[in-house]
Structure 1
């Protein structure tokens, strides 16, 4: 059993290292800008993938998952609450403010930097979740895609902006955006074992389909938005050395403090 566990741990570490290399692609030094042709092709690819999912996959996947056994559906209904941004943003903002405030007190250099480091880490997680979450909220209200509750009536490709009607705020999934942004932030701060947070993110994203409030394409869009948004915040912090400093000549980063904590 011990040997099997060690093998599984080695496999996970290998996957985490590959994920880290993928992160470095997005967070490394700036590369040559995309040409207008590449941007156009990428946009057409994204639109084509969305159309394919909306017309060929969304209805079938929603119908299948919402008809899972009641016990499983109930479990996902409880799990989906963890994807709400309030329980993430309010504590991290409070810790961020408290950490910076306490560091101003005459409590000694070492304790001061401990509080500042902890508070700054919470501040990074707050921004990494809040920025893509805000973008998601604006998009879903501006686009006005009808949720699955209107599927039989309006289909899967009905767009009608209703800023005050949640049933027309389906694309992208805010819960998927929040959960994957948080998982990415934890992975970037905690290292390879922080990748375990993605397990929870996948389950939360899946719960939105099981609960019948989002389509598959909504969840996929929220996933990409959450990951890329958190990586953008990470790079923004790194370029300004706000807590993160380069480590050797690689793109791997560590939390920047004047001593080990």
Structure 2
């Protein structure tokens, strides 16, 4: 039994290694085309523009909203707190990383040679999308943890003793990790990534992400300025990762006016779903080899 399990794991490991190398070979030579595919950042997306947006909205929030957060939460009906307490759990990055990582590894472990070209194309679309979501959420999550621990803003629960704008940089204590919001960063990174992958549903995805981010305010875990900074940071990371991929023709491509769209199916999510359905049908129709007695 142990020998059989060991053999199966070895076969699976070799298959995953082969599929990974095939994927690398598929995109080999893309770097030589990077300069030709380079598109300047559009106005409003440049670092100086994003810094201006951050200073404007976070500054206004600190002056007008943060100081009155607890007064406002005291008059919010209890049902709202209970509901948003449930919603806020969707802002945790662990399930985003687990789902996207498992999807990528599961598809990587499949035998791609046994399915049709259309199914293989759908498989690579999903793998690329899952990897994009994973990298976006993981990268933004790591960076925001470093930022919030270095910035050292006191959390809202300390407002009565320290006020709403108390900063103690490099104190490295959990009570001083309010700015930016980690949950909001992960939500924004995931929402923007999914919106780029499924442009037809981007409004719905972004609205859902907005309310999950707002839930951090509703449960008293963060100030509005923390959430604003987290959303801006997480969304920016996903957008920059998508630009890096588009310059290399991996999963995304540029339009003539410099916008980023999915490389294989453009703005049509219906085509993507059809491709995925073709993969599912092909995968389930693979005959199972049996020994003949």
Q: TM-score, normalised by structure 1?
A: 0.76
1:245/1:145 CA distance change after superposition, 3 Å: same
Offset, 1:180: 1.5
2:10 equivalent in structure 1: none
Task: Give me the whole-angstrom Cα distance separating, in 2, the residues matched to 1:243 and 1:32.
Answer: 20
2:98 equivalent in structure 1: 90
Give the unaligned 5+ runs of structure 2: 1-37, 266-270, 276-293
Offset, 1:250: 5.8
Task: Give me the whole-angstrom Cα distance separating, in 1, the residues matched to 2:80 and 2:162.
Answer: 28
Larger deviation, residues 102-111 vs 91-100: 102-111
Larger Rg: 2
1:228 equivalent in structure 2: 236
Offset, 1:30: 1.1
Provide, for residues 179-229 of structure 1, a one-character-per-residue CA deviation record: whole Å limited to 9, x for no partner: 122111111111132320122212111111111110010011011112111
Equivalent residue in structure 1 for 2:219, among 204, 211, 219: 211
1:30 equivalent in structure 2: 40
Provide, for residues 49-81 of structure 1, a one-character-per-residue CA deviation record: whole Å limited to 9, x for no partner: 544432432021343135311111111101100
Equivalent residue in structure 2 for 1:179, among 170, 174, 187: 187
1:16 equivalent in structure 2: none
Task: Give me the whole-angstrom Cα distance separating, in 1, the residues matched to 2:140 and 2:149.
Answer: 14
Larger deviation, residues 118-127 vs 73-82: 118-127
SS of structure 2 residue aligned to 1:253: strand
SS of structure 2 residue aligned to 1:245: strand
2:110 equivalent in structure 1: 102
Does 2:129 match 1:129? no
Count residues in correspondence: 229
Does 2:167 match 1:190? no
1:136/1:153 CA distance change after superposition, 3 Å: same
User: What is the correspondence of 1:16-165 to structure 2 with a 5 Å cutoff?
Assistant: 29-30=39-40, 39=48, 46-47=54-55, 50-160=58-168, 161-163=170-172, 165=173
1:166 equivalent in structure 2: 174
1:239 equivalent in structure 2: 247
Runs (4+) of structure 1 exceeding 6 A deviation are: none
1:187/1:204 CA distance change after superposition, 3 Å: same
2:7 equivalent in structure 1: none
1:148/1:87 CA distance change after superposition, 3 Å: same
1:47/1:126 CA distance change after superposition, 3 Å: same
SS of structure 1 residue aligned to 2:65: helix
SS of structure 1 residue aligned to 2:253: strand
Give the unaligned 5+ runs of structure 1: 1-27
Offset, 1:151: 0.4
Larger deviation, residues 128-137 vs 230-239: 128-137
Asked whether the 8 Å contact 2:148–2:180 carries over to 1, the reply is: yes
